[in-house]
Amino acid sequence: MTAAVLLGSFQAAQAETAPKVVNIGYQKANIFALLKYRGTLDNDFKKQGIDVHWVEFTAGPQMLEGLNVGSIDLAATGDAPPVIAQAAHADLVYLAHSVPNPQTEAIVVPENSPIKTVADLKGKRVALNKGSDVNYLLVAALEKAGLSYKDIKPVYLVPGDARAAFQSGDIDAWVIWDPFLAEVETNAKAREVQNAEGLVPHYTFFLASRKFADTYPQTAEKLVTELKATSDWANQHHDETAEILSKSTGLAKNIWAKALARMPYDAQRMTPAVFKSQQVLADKFTQVGLLPTPVNVSSATWSLDKH
């Protein structure tokens, strides 16, 4: 690349007009909650004249509905919601991903349940948040056990409602992620039947609407940089992280200590291998009827180098 082209690219980048407001979707239990409560992103953006508006969601699928309709610009979810959003023609892009966290989601049953294996779920009522990352775990676990999705009775509930149903015995099993997993293990003595280890990677993905990422590439890049810094801080400060997330979620600090012990944070660039992993998920969801149409995951590729 010539010096003139390099200079032109630099000047174009320098010429980017920052947005006046960035709308970020977050869940009380994810890394965006850490960004919100620590205030580091707000402070950095404020120096550029950008206000941050935090919008809370109960789970990933609902958050990506917000991204699709334009009520938020940025989001963080597990592996399944972005694929489902793509099938609904959401014009999103993948900015970055976490390291795999397969131990942070699992199928659990009451302590004295006769269910011992995934195969025992046949005909049983299994609660989960429809379209969430645990939906992928359930599909993969059933397939490995020689069952299909039609062999169980899925009960679609958000985490709070599923926790109540678990306590009352209205469901036979629950597929859930941390910190709710750590909470039900600690307070209800839930027994793990199967986690995601060896079945699905369980990533967290950091996403943006394509319009936002293309219009404000440096702002999108700044978010990834801030996520990486926050991840490094959280991995080195479990006690402080547990304190922050305890306040955010209302869950006890010891619950968060349990969850954080198996939840390394990170923010890494998207790679062909990770997109391939997401494509496997998309193809599996299409096969079992959870997606109405095939999805080309790599169509949501984005790179700062192109802007």
Q: What is the pLDDT of residues 110-124, one digit of tens each?
A: 999 999 999 999 999
| pLDDT for res 59 | 81
pTM of the model: 0.88
| pLDDT for res 58 | 82
> Token pair of 32, please?
């965006």
Q: What is the pLDDT of residues 58-69, one digit of tens each?
A: 888 889 999 999
Region at 271 (left for phi over 0; alpha for psi -120 to 50; beta for the rest): beta
- Domain range summary for the chain, segments of one domain joined by +: 3-99+203-306, 103-195
CB neighbour list of residue 59: distance below 8 Å, 6 or more residues apart: 27, 81, 129, 132, 158, 159
Confidence label for 307 from pLDDT (cuts 50, 70 and 90): low
Give the CA count within 13 Å in the CB-facing half-sphere of 172: 15
| pLDDT for res 50 | 95
Fold of 103-195: D-Maltodextrin-Binding Protein; domain 2 (3.40.190)
Residues in the chain: 307
Would you give the DSSP letter of residue 300?
A: G
Task: Check if 3-99+203-306 and 103-195 are the same fold.
Answer: yes
In whole angstroms, give the CA distance from residue 51 to residue 266: 25
- CATH superfamily placement of domain 3-99+203-306: Periplasmic binding protein-like II (3.40.190.10)
